[in-house]
Structure 1
Amino acid sequence: MVTQPVPWEIRAAAKRADTLSKIPQAWRLAPADLAKAKNQRDLTGPFVQQFLDADEISIISKESVDIVNGIRSGQRSAVSVTTAFCKTAPIAHQINNCLHEIFFDKALDRARELDAFYAETGRTLGPLHGLPVSLKDQFHVEGVDTTMGYVGWIGSNLGIKHPSQAHQVESQITTELLSLGAVLFCKTSLPQTLLFGETKNNIIGQTLNPHNQNLSCGGSSGGEGALQALRGSTLGVGTDIGGSVRIPAAFNGLFALKPTPERLSYRGVANTNPGQNTYRSAVGFLSTSLGSLELALQSVLSTRPWERDPAVVPIPFRQEVINEYRSRADKDGVVILSEKPLKLGVLWTDGALRPHPPILRGIRDVVNALRQAGHKVVDWNPPLHATAKKIHLAFLLADGAHDVHSHLSRSGEPLIPDLQESFKLRPPIPLLEYQSLTVEGLEYELAYSDYWNSTAVDGHVVDAVIMPVAPHAAVVPGKYYHTAYTEVINLLNYSAVAIPVTKADKAVDLVDDSYQPLNDIDKLNWDAYDSDVYHGAPVGLQLVARKFEEEKVLAIAGIVTSALETYHRK
């Protein structure tokens, strides 16, 4: 008798039920609370905190650096910290649908082991001792599914080479985090295919923006962004091949670091079309604070990842670079020595899509803050970003979506409606066309580098560039028309940090009725702006430096953030 395959809808429903069953009864919300959440515009702050006690709120309100310092000094235990986040994360999931995997029992066992180690030795295991860290659902954890949003991988690990490896594999960065004392406790939602600026799949549906449920949380590390916006985590690991850590950070009022791909290990990480490595995906971090990003980078690099992954370039953490840039400004971001200000470029528009009013106001605020603090700001007019977007997108789709369809075929699930056109099956591009695109990409990198060098006409080359992450704040679902603002940075393999700047304000960010769109897509984007709908949406920007300048751009981000805070206070 032939066994009929289980329909994908039933498998997805069973997975959702299994995830909910892992939430302790005491942490489950009443139907009335769930109904209230659906009608609540903003789920952050007071709304999510109503389900926590004062001590739990105190713990989750602290930043990563403060948390590990508190545990190191004996003021907090790893168990108390882990319990607070293990309670907040499922509450966040119940009201915002942001988790794929829950393994709180494993996390609490780990926290108890760390506390026992501390009690016995009087020292911490590593710089992340006791810190709960969330993972995008691309990273393998032993004993836990990695579906990457595909129904066909439920009960296993996407990317394993043999069924015997199911639940036995561990990504290199997972191993590194554990060696540093981190507590891993959940995996977050992402979009089907990964290559989408929103977060939606056939397993859990859609993840919306906790600050404004009219809007998207971004993608592809969207579940990370949503979880952190609700303080269910202060530090998470994501990936970025077209903006996938920067977009969720900007849309959710967070910080993110996208390194040059070869700075951190991608070994043993599930991915879409993993054979496309001309423009690699980068492992990056999202966090509720800038200091957490520095802590994460410094900690992971201290494990010398290049010794286990030959793709990683052997560059240790460079504290001296951070110190040199920090020495240029005081705690308010103000220039200390008049001969050593920062010189920052500013890209107001890429010439294809003009940003919405909240983004333009955010850029103006940053520029005014920097000038008030004594730094130099110059307009940035590089080679056309549209060229980079065309080349980069061609590589992302080079295999004709065969990898995506191989994963869909495991369950019979369809593409989600948003992706049915862009990921329909087609022949892969020919080798000679692939090689020609590679040459185009290299030529674009050279042209961009030459332009950057040309800014040294006054003897001071631009240190970093301020630019939008997207032409809008956290976007209305289905209306993300243009990803070139982030994709160009992936084609260049530059280092970038996303920072929160402000929030959309319907009283200030008025529609400019006089604006004449540049093209049909620009018109679609402009027509999508509604100041009432966007009200309260986080506005984030990115700071971009060149290849392998992660420490430099982190230090500059700190100065920019301090100058912006000073400007807003005044």
Structure 2
Amino acid sequence: MEAKIPPWQEKAAAKRESVLAKIKPEWRLSPAELERAAHRRELTGGYIEEFLEPEEASIISLDSVALVEGIKEGKLSSVRVALSFCKAAAVTHQINNCLHEIFFEQALERAIYLDEYYAKYGTTIGPLHGLPISLKDQFHVKGVDTTMGYVGWIGSNLGIKDPSQAHKVESQITTELLSLGAVLYCKTSLPQTLLLGETRNNIIGETLNPNNRNLSCGGSSGGEGALQALRGSTLGVGTDIGGSVRIPAAFNGIFGLKPTPERISYRDVANNNPGETTYRSTVGFLSTSLDGLGLMLKSVLSTSPWLRDPAVVPFPFRQDAADTYLSRGNLETGKPLKFGVLWSDNVVGLHPPILRGLRMVADAIRTGGHKVVDWTPPPQEDATRIHLAFILADGGHDIHTQLDLSGEPLIPDLRETFTLKPPMDLLEYQDLTLQGLEYEAKYSDYWNSTADDDGQIVDAVIMPVAPHAAVIPGKYYHTAYTGVLNLMNYSVVVVPVTKADKNVDTFDDSYTPLNDTDELNWKAYDPEVYHGAPVGLQIVGRKFEEEKVLAVAKIVCAALEKATKD
């Protein structure tokens, strides 16, 4: 007798089909085209352009600032831009499975309205007028599902607590983006629970890395990273509680910004265990360009989000802070910057491509006339232990509550970590909070002590995002390089540096692992498998230093570009 398919699987399968059905018939790929894509190692660059008209390929090749300027100058229309990115996103999803929600018709109606407004008034609605922006599937859009990777959430939009509100709720940042003129058109894939450095769930399966499909796109904002790597978007919104913006940015060869949590509104955004606010998840941004990140931050802050969300601090965009550091990039007029470089957290060492990337950046900065010192902060394993304890404090009860809505199981990657347990005792939780504050203070004291040698404090820190490039699925053993910065709520920008090269990044047989985890990570390195994987690094500032780290990132990227040309 044939086994009956569980109801949750039927619901997930129906959802997958409903998303594909929203793609225009003329944009759907043939079985032969899908089969050809499935056997390709790399999907980026010229390959995806084969499915587009020349004008469409030209439009999606532009970055965010060029797009909004082209629309503002009347050289591009919102409709042509929206159509190009909707089609690119449709192709991207078919060949790399990265979207949870498609609402292209809604986007095109919006683009028509924006073009009519421009024709009537001769001006734009705001700084994002006509710019297609993608959203991680935590952000609510009216009339569109938010599943956050849970089968039990299918058919709802924050309507689980109050079914009458399904599809009526809008996240504050969604409202802000629309007020700025943005065109919203799709929501991107993420892992079940959000708490995984890869992107897998029981609804759509797995999203792989379009630069090298042997590897993961990262997580939890993994669909955002994959979509942008294929130019299906130039600017998107994600979230980060342990690296969820930074990991996909680094793994996919794009840029990412993790602000301090209270800088951008999280109001009415779906989340895992939303009551855990001691160390908050933060809304962040991913972009194909550094200027795109700056455009987004400046635009969103121009709406004064703190007036509608009391959790947001009233800090407008501080152009003077950005200008101060940008002027430091010109050593004829400014004082050299001082950088710390973290070469290892002394728990899990770095694969050859990451170590080479760090050396490239350190050498470029030093050649550019800036100072470089080794960064040896308080033991990061202490921060990792504290951060992970907060993640697990509720014993997995919130996760299992969501799973029970449909009866779906945890995906295999998460079964051991999130087996249901009693929640942490309140007194233990309070003590853990004190440990976190103590670690923050120690880290701050260390940062301040970097002025002891020469009277100049370190301006920013360069460190890995992970001990490896875009990881082999199932072999992400150590997320501490990102998680430590969530514990301190620091401001971080991720920049792409290089790509793994099997001819240069050879396996070092003499390496002695530091421990069992390091051994697992080291044995997972295969130069052939990793070849072509993007290498991205973190540029770290302290709390509420978003403008500063964006400016410093420009200086670093300019130094790296010059060194590469020389």
The interval holding the TM-score normalised by the smaller chain is over 0.9
Q: Do structure 1's residue 384 and structure 2's residue 385 form an aligned pair?
A: no
Mapped partners of 2:7, 2:161: distance in 1? 24
Distance 2:126 2:99 in 1: 27
Give the Cα separation in 1 of the matches to 2:159 and 2:199: 21
1:361-410 CA-partner distances (Å, limit 9, x unpaired): 00000000001100101000000010000000000010000000000000
Maintained 8 Å contact 2:539/2:549: yes
- Structure 2 residue aligned with 1:359, among 354, 358, 361? 354
Amino acid at match of 1:466: I
Residue of structure 2 equivalent to 1:175: 175
Q: Secondary structure at the match of 2:336?
A: coil
2:488 counterpart residue number: 492
Deviations 1:77-113 (A, max 9, x none): 0000000000000100000000000000000000000
What residue is the counterpart of 2:561 in the other structure?
A: 565
CA separation in 1, counterparts of 2:160 and 2:33? Answer: 40
1:442 to 437, 461, 467: 437
Corresponding position: 1:416 with 2:411: yes
Provide the rounded CA distance (Å) in 2 between the counterparts of 1:568 and 1:141. 43
| 1:53 CA displacement | 1.1
Partner SS for 1:456 = coil
User: Counterparts of 1:7 and 1:506 in 2: how far apart (Å)?
Assistant: 46
Alpha-carbon deviations, 1:216-268, whole Å to 9, x = none?
00000000000000000000000000000000000000000000000000000
- Map of 2:498 onto structure 1: 502
Q: Tell me which residue corresponds to 2:218.
A: 218
* Counterpart check, 1:474 vs 2:470: yes
User: In the aligned structure 2, how far is the partner of 1:252 from the partner of 1:309?
Assistant: 32
Unaligned runs of 5+ in 1: none
**Distance in 1 separating the partners of 2:295 and 2:332:** 25
Name the structure 2 match of 1:54.
54
Provide the residue aligned with 2:332 in structure 1: 336
The amino acid that maps onto 2:403 is L
Kept in 2, the 8 Å contact 1:159–1:270? The answer is no
Distance 2:116 2:63 in 1: 24
- The equivalent of 2:35 in structure 1 is 35
Once the two structures are TM-superposed, the CA of residue 160 in structure 1 deviates from its matched residue by 4.8
The separation in 1 between residues aligned to 2:279 and 2:160, in whole angstroms, is 22
TM-score, scaled to structure 1: 0.98
| Separation in 2, partners of 1:180, 1:6 | 44
The residue type paired with residue 253 of structure 2 is G
Contact 2:351 2:467 in 1 (8 A): yes
Assess if the C-alpha contact under 8 Å between 1:265 and 1:309 holds in 2. yes
Contact 1:258 1:283 (8 Å CA) reproduced: yes
Where do residues 2-401 of structure 1 align in structure 2 (5 Å cutoff)? 7-158=7-158, 160-330=160-330, 335-337=331-333, 340-401=335-396
Counterpart contact for 2:153–2:160, Cα < 8 Å: no
- Number of residue-to-residue matches in the alignment: 562
Residue 133 of structure 1 aligns to a residue whose secondary structure is strand
TM-superposed deviation, 1:494: 0.3
Question: Which 4+ runs in 1 deviate beyond 4 A?
Answer: none
- Is the 1:159–1:271 contact (alpha carbons within 8 Å) kept by the matching residues of 2? no
Q: CA deviation at 1:158?
A: 4.2
Can you list the C-alpha shifts for 1:171-190, whole angstroms capped at 9, x where unaligned?
Answer: 00000000000000000000
> Does structure 1 residue 455 correspond to structure 2 residue 450?
yes
Counterpart residue identity of residue 528, structure 1: A
Q: Which runs of 5+ in 2 are unaligned?
A: none
Q: Distance in 2 between matches of 1:34 and 1:342?
A: 49
1:512 — aligned with what? 508
Distance 1:148 1:461, change over 3 A: same
- The separation in 2 between residues aligned to 1:95 and 1:185, in whole angstroms, is 18
How far 1:5 sits from its partner (Å)?
12
What RMSD over aligned residues (CA atoms) do the two structures have, in Å?
1.0
2:159–2:167: 8 Å Cα contact kept in structure 1? no
Give the CA deviation at 1:336: 2.9
Q: Percent identity?
A: 70
Letter in 1 for 2:381: A
Q: How does 1:527-542 map to 2 (within 5 A)?
A: 527-542=523-538
